[in-house]
Amino acid sequence: MRKPLLLLATTILVPGCASLGQPQAAPADLQQQVLDAERSFARTMADRNHAAFTAFLSEEAVFFSGETPIRGREAVAAAWRRYFDGPDAPFSWEPDLVEVLASGSLALSTGPVRDPAGQVVGRFNSIWRREASGQWRIVFDKGSQVCATEGAQ
């Protein structure tokens, strides 16, 4: 009877232990971490650095592009490889809003997507997850086109 109880106690207690090693950051600090991560992620496009882009993706990342979601780091990296071909970035993005859960485990970043001329052509929405190491990685990403009147800012 002890083994099942010990197994149950281990199953219940161990998942919470990971957070014991990490001090909880203040909400403003967490927001800044995600802002910095998103800006660094965007810089990978400007720098034409596909390997750095891939490093920001969660193993189980899901990117919505077209009718079928792209699932997994390797598949997303392969699908986005074409955006890194050539000397100039086909678009850029910058976060203008970040929200982080009180638990500090998930965050939303969103902001405008611009064409090479600087015109707003869309908006991105990314969900970030803080891993046990403290690093933020993207788990969901979805962009949307902007209506002509929205982009005229």
Q: Where are the domains of the chain?
A: 24-151
Q: How far apart are CA 51 and CA 45, in angstroms?
A: 10
Q: What are the phi and psi torsion angles at 126 (to 5°)?
A: -125, 140
In 3D space, the residue among 99, 97, 142, 98 whose CA is nearest the CA of residue 122 turns out to be 142
Residue type, 69: P
CA 14 – CA 29 distance, rounded (Å):
27
Instruction: From the options 2.40.10.480, 3.40.50.970, 3.10.20.440, 3.10.450.50, give the CATH code of 24-151.
Output: 3.10.450.50
CA distance 74 to 95: 24
Give pLDDT, residue 146.
85
What torsion, rounded to 10 degrees, do the Cα atoms 93, 97, 100, 102 define? 180
Q: For the chain (length 153 residues), average pLDDT per consecutive 10?
A: 44 42 77 98 98 98 94 98 96 98 97 97 98 96 80 48
pLDDT confidence of residue 97: 97
Predicted local distance difference test score (pLDDT) of residue 25:
82
**What is the predicted pLDDT for the residue at 65?**
85
Q: Which residues pair with 130 in a beta bridge?
A: 136
